[in-house]
A and B are shown apart, each in its own frame.
Chain A
Amino acid sequence: MSAFSHFSYFVTVFLMVAGLFIVIARGNLIKKLVGLGIFQTSVYLLYIVPGKLVGGTAPILDPAFTRYSNPLPHVLILTAIVVGVATLALGLALVVRIREAYGTIEEDEILAQDGETPNGDGPGA
């Protein structure tokens, strides 16, 4: 059945779209970062699901098993997870600085404050 064999992709796409929606539709900066994290985890699923072989096991070589799931996506995603948390940390540091500079972390209010100063300096720089 074609729907069942591609079900995992539907889940991945749903999570990806949900993360994307949170990033573009919500104004709070911290929530946007959480949405970005959800987007990233959906991409991890996208890479790891095709590597799985039914009846296989984790790719740790052992004489008792002959069939292993593909180790290559695991390596790539391991790197991606750590880079993702590094990005999150930098993004949060920026959010903290924005909060100190503008007094708010809502996107609408930040843009409104930027619009009030036509020379674009930002309040109290």
Chain B
Amino acid sequence: MKHDLVLRVIAKILIPFILLFAVYVQFHGDYGPGGGFQAGVIVAAGIIFYGIIFGLETTRKVMPSWLVESMLATGVLIYAGVGVAGILLGGNYLDYFVLAADPVAGQHRGIFWVEVGVAVTVAAVMLKIFYMFGGRGQDPE
């Protein structure tokens, strides 16, 4: 019981910082190392940490399966959607220059949304795989 208490306290302190760090890595990916993939994996790692300490059932209440599965598809759709937006605004598929009045600002916007899409999908996949592996072991053989 004593070990559980230490782990729970540490987890409660650390997990917000882990998630905040993931958001930092995501948005600071333009100016330093980072970007969508790293941020997605760090988000998943934070939530998996929560799941290991507090149990899979509690984690499923916080991040239900249907939410994770829809995040899975939403990320890819965001990415493809940026491409379609390029077509709708007059350019080629995945053309960022037409997304804003100024081509460089358009690039910024395009890269931002693309990285968001990548992070969402990667985080959802890692989390879903953990749910699958974790949920499997609790089945009666």
Contacts and interface: CB of A to CB of B under 8 A. Distances in A.
Given A60-B31, A60-B32, A96-B136, A82 B37 contact: yes
A96 B139 CA distance: 13
A96 B37 contact: no
Interface residues of A, number: 10
A58 B122 contact: no
17 contacts: A58-B33, A60-B31, A60-B32, A60-B33, A78-B37, A81-B37, A82-B37, A82-B122, A86-B125, A89-B125, A89-B129, A92-B133, A93-B129, A93-B132, A93-B133, A96-B133, A96-B136
Interface string B20-40: 000000000001110001000
A69 B26 CA distance: 23
A30 to B, nearest CB: 13
Interface of B: 31-33, 37, 122, 125, 129, 132-133, 136
Given A81-B37, A93-B132, 15 more contacts: A58-B33, A60-B31, A60-B32, A60-B33, A78-B37, A82-B37, A82-B122, A86-B125, A89-B125, A89-B129, A92-B133, A93-B129, A93-B133, A96-B133, A96-B136
Q: Top 10 A-B pairs ranked by shortest CB distance?
A: A89-B129, A82-B37, A78-B37, A60-B32, A96-B136, A82-B122, A58-B33, A93-B132, A96-B133, A60-B33
Chain A contact surface mostly: helix
A72 to B, nearest CB: 16
A60 B37 CA distance: 17
Contacts of A96: 133, 136
Nearest to B132: A93
Contacts of B133: 92-93, 96
Interface in A23-63: 58, 60
Among A60, A82, A86, A96, max chain B CB count under 10 A is at A82
A58 B125 CA distance: 29
Contacts of B132: 93
A86 B31 CA distance: 27
Interface in A55-104: 58, 60, 78, 81-82, 86, 89, 92-93, 96
Nearest to B141: A100
